[in-house]
Structure 1
Amino acid sequence: MAFASLKDVYIHQLQDLYSANKQARLTTQKLAAAAKDPELQKALEAGVIGIENGMTALDAMIKGHGESPTAEFCKGMEGIVKEAQAHALDADFTNDEVQDAVIITQYQRMVHYALAGYGCVKTFAKRLGHDEEARALEDCLKETRSGDLTMSELAMGGINKKAA
């Protein structure tokens, strides 16, 4: 794809973020199924809903520009998802709390990637005068930040202590 304008970059990044969310959703579902702590399971299930909300918003934005949401594949999230699979799901654990601590770590890596993506596209939307899209992207950012904070609270609130 040739980028001739910020709008081209914006649409490409929306598509890339849609792909990242699609990959993260499946992995988050797997992490939720593997989590042992009930609060962690609940938080991850809420994370799946948040990711789906983001995908819905991105889908509408991309289609509103006459493009396909599935036109890009996010290689960055592909690597993060592979790491989550290897370290949180396929690794051998003899302690459930240790696995839960690793699940939080891997989920937060996915979340931080999404935060960077949402922040960039929100800035592009504002610059391009797409104020409604910028507000929707800010909502996605807030929901994503909330999930990240919940994971930090779970880790510091007991899961990491039990894992130690």
Structure 2
Amino acid sequence: MAINSLKDIYLDQLQDIWSANTQSLSVVTELGRAAENKDLSEALIDGGNGIADGIAEIEKLCNDHGVKPDAEHCKGMEGLVKEARAHGLSDEISDADVRDAAIIPQYQRMVHYALAGYGTLAAFANRLGLDGDAAVLKKCLDQTYDGDRRMTEIAMTGGVNKDAAS
């Protein structure tokens, strides 16, 4: 797609976040299965459900604008997914508590990519006067922030980091 306007950037970035979400969904599911801590596992399962919801919302927006959601491949998320597998699911991590502590930053790195994407897209939609799109993207952004805060809570006060340090 030729990029000649803010609308073109907006559509390109919709496709990018769709690709990013699609790639991250499988590894978040794997991280959820690997997590020993019940709260962490549940948060990752909920995170996967949120990612799936985001995929569906972005797909609808793409279709509304007449673009294919899968026309872009997000290389940024490709790298983050590779890192999550290497550092959160590594066979070299033999202690379950240490694995749980390693999973959290891998998940949060992917979440932070999504936060940047949703925030930028919401700003573009607002500027373009796409109020319906902006509302959808703001909802996705808010839910993603909630997931990030929940993960921080699990690490800090939920005992994951404390257990890994023992």
**TM-score after normalising by structure 1:** 0.98
Matched, 1:113 2:113: yes
The answer for the alignment partner of 2:162 in structure 1 is: 161
Amino acid at match of 1:66: G
SS in 1 for 2:69: coil
Provide the C-alpha distance between the structure 2 equivalents of 1:47 and 1:26, rounded to a whole number of angstroms: 11
Structure 2: how far apart are the matches of 1:29 and 1:61? Answer: 25
Q: Please tell me the residue identity of whatever aligns with 1:121.
A: L
* Unaligned segments of structure 1, at least 5 residues: none
The structural deviation recorded for 1:54 is 0.6
Structure 1 residue 93 displacement after superposition? 1.4
User: Equivalents in 2 of 1:69, 1:9: separation in Å?
Assistant: 14
RMSD, aligned CA: 0.7
SS at match of 1:2: coil
> In the aligned structure 2, how far is the partner of 1:47 from the partner of 1:84?
15
Q: Give the CA deviation at 1:95.
A: 1.4
State the identity %: 51
Residue 101 (structure 2) aligns with: 101
- Cα deviations across residues 120-163 of structure 1 (Å, max 9, x unaligned)? 00000001110011011000001000000110000001100110
Aligned residue for 2:71, secondary structure, equals: coil
**Residues in 2 aligned to 1:93 and 1:11: alpha-carbon distance in whole angstroms:** 40
Q: CA deviation at 1:91?
A: 4.1
List per-residue Cα deviations over 1:59-111 (Å, max 9, x = no partner). Answer: 00000001101000000000000000101112411311110011011000000
Code of the residue aligned with 1:159 in structure 2: it is V
Long gaps (5+) in structure 2: none
What residue in structure 2 maps to residue 90 of structure 1? 90
2:27 match: 27
Q: Equivalents in 1 of 2:164, 2:150: separation in Å?
A: 18
Distance in 1 of aligned mates of 2:94 and 2:121 = 42
Q: 1:36 offset after TM fit, Å?
A: 0.6
Runs of 4+ with deviation above 6 angstroms? none
Output the amino acid matched with 2:67: E
> In 1, Cα distance between the equivalents of 2:153 and 2:68?
37
Matches within 5 A, 1:14-163: 14-157=14-157, 158-163=159-164
Give the letter for the 1:36 counterpart.
E
1:3 aligns with 2:7: no
Report SS of the residue matched to 1:70: helix
Aligned length: 164
> TM-score, normalised on structure 2?
0.97
